Amino acid sequence: MNRKGENFRTIWLKPGDPEIVQIIDQRKLPHDFQIHDLRSCQDGIHAIREMLVRGAPLIGATAAWSLYLAGLEESTASRHDRVQQAAIELGATRPTAVNLQWAIKRVLAAIAGADDDDLVRLLREEAESICNEDIEISRGIGHHGLAIIEEIAARKPGETINILTHCNAGALATINWGTATAPIYFAHQKGLNVHVWVDETRPRNQGSQLTAWELAENGVPHTLIVDNAGGHLMQHGMVDLCIVGTDRTTRSGDVANKIGTYLKALAAADNGVPFYVALPSTTIDWNIEDGLADIPIEERDATEISHIYGESDGRVLAVNTVPTRTAIRNIAFDVTPARLVTGLITELGTCAATTDGLAALFSSGEHPGP
C-alpha cells in the first residue's frame, strides 16, 4: 500500500522496540494518518473492538500480535496461562469474521507444549508468519482475479473496465494489497484501464473513508457513490464486474460481508453482471453450510449510525443526524446466498460458490480444507 509514495503494511513491530506493535488508526482516515501503538493485549482488544483495525484478515493478524503482547506481560512461568486467557478475551471481540478464531487457534497450536523460555519467540514468529503469508495470499488472489479482469478487457479493448466494490476489502483490511482490491491493483499496474465505483458503505463509511483513500494513494481512478446507487449503475450497463470481500464464507459458498452486500448481489444477478467474492482460504468456515442460519451477525452501537465523523474547518468531529426520539438498529453484516455469487477468488484459484467447487479447489490437502 502506498502512502505518499512510501510502501506501508497495516501492522508491524515498531523498529527498535520489539515490545510495541504499531497499526494505522483507521478511524482517523482519510483526514489524519496516525500511527497507533499497541503496548498490551488489552490495547489489541480495544483496537479490534473499536475498529482502529478492521477487515477479516487484519483482525486475524492483530489477534496474533495481541497474543504476542500478552506473552510479554507475564514473567516466564505464567506466560502460557496469560496467553490462554488472552485467547478467550480476543475471541469474544467480534463475532462475524472467522479469521479471528482461525488466527487464535493457529497461534495456540504453534505454542502448544513449548518451553516457557521459548514462548515469546514462538509467538512473535507465528504472528510474523501470519502477516507474511497474508501478503502472499493477497498476491495469489490478485493474480487469479486479474485473469477475470483481463477477460473483460479483451471483450472491450480500449474501453474502461468499471468495477464496483462495497466496504473496504483493500490493503487496509489485510496486511497489504487487499482481497477485493488486489486484482484491481494488479490490473492497474499492468496498464489496464480500470475504474472503481466505491460504495460509501454506511454506517462506518469504509468506502468513502478507506477504499477511496487507498485507491487515491495508489493512483487508481475511482468514483464515490452512495450505497443506494449501484443498482441504477448496473441497470444502465455502467458496471462490468463486482468484487467484494467477505468476513466468513461457508463450505457451500454463502458469503457474510458488510451489510448491503446482498443488495448489490441481487442487482448484479438481475442485470447479468458478474459478482465475485475475493477471499483468503482462512475466511472459509468449513464447519458450517447454511450462512443465513449459522453465521453470527454482529450488531453494533447505534451511535455509529447517528453520529457521522468528518472534517469541518480543519477539525475532525462527529455530528448527530438523527432525532433523539428515534430508535436505531445497527446490523453490521448480511449474508449473500451462494446462488448469487458468480465465483470465489482465492489464493489457490477461482471456483464456483458451491460445496463441490470449494471442495475441488481445496482437496490437495496442502491447505486448510473440508
Chain positions 330 to 349 lying near a second copy, rule: CB under 8 A, are: 330-331, 333-335
162 vs 241: CA distance, rounded Å:
7
Binding-site member from 202, 244, 338, 345 for a second copy (CB under 8 A): 202
Show the binding pattern over residues 264-303: x = contacts a second copy (CB under 8 A), - = does not.
Answer: x-xx--x---------------------x----x------
311 binding a second copy? (CB under 8 A)? yes
* Least distance CB 75 / a second copy (angstroms): 46
Minimal distance in Å, beta carbon 161 to a second copy? Answer: 16
DSSP structural state of residue 210:
I
Contact between 38 and 65 (Cβ < 8 Å): yes
* Least spacing, CB of residue 220 vs a second copy, in Å: 11
* Residue owning grid cell 459478482: 275
Residues 225-264 that bind a second copy (CB under 8 A): 225-233, 235-236, 258-260, 262-264
- Residue 91 C-alpha cell reads as 475471541
Tell me if 320 contacts a second copy by CB under 8 A.
yes
Does the active-site annotation cover 32? no
If one asks whether residue 4 binds a second copy (CB under 8 A), the answer comes out as no
For 288, list phi and psi in degrees, rounded to 5.
-125, 155
Tell the smallest beta-carbon distance from residue 94 to a second copy (Å): 17
Q: What contacts 115, CB < 8 A, 6 or more positions away?
A: none
The single residue among 322, 352, 359, 360 that binds a second copy, judged by CB under 8 A, is 322
51 lines the binding site for a second copy (CB under 8 A): no
For the CB of residue 345, give the shortest distance to a second copy in the complex, in Å: 23
184 three-class SS: helix
CA distance 138 to 185: 11
Of 88, 112, 154, 327, the one binding a second copy (CB under 8 A) is: 327
Which residue's CB is nearer to a second copy, number 168 or number 281?
Answer: 168
Residue 286 identity: W
- Name the grid cell of 201: 458503505
- Catalytic choice (43, 247, 254, 334): 247
8 A C-beta contact, residue 277 and residue 255: yes
129 φψ region: left (φ > 0), alpha (ψ -120 to 50), beta (else): alpha
- Closest by CA position to 83, among listed 49, 114, 59, 51: 114
Closer of 155 and 315 to a second copy (Cβ): 315
Query: What does the block give as the cell for 339?
Result: 446462488
Task: Let me know if 182 is exposed, middle or buried by CB neighbors in 10 A (0-12, 13-18, 19+).
Answer: buried
**Minimum CB–partner distance for residue 170 and a second copy (Å):** 13
Active site (catalytic) residues = 247
Binding residues vs a second copy (CB under 8 A): 30, 198, 200-203, 205, 208-209, 212-213, 215-216, 221-233, 235-236, 258-260, 262-264, 266-267, 270, 292, 297, 305-312, 317-323, 325-331, 333-335
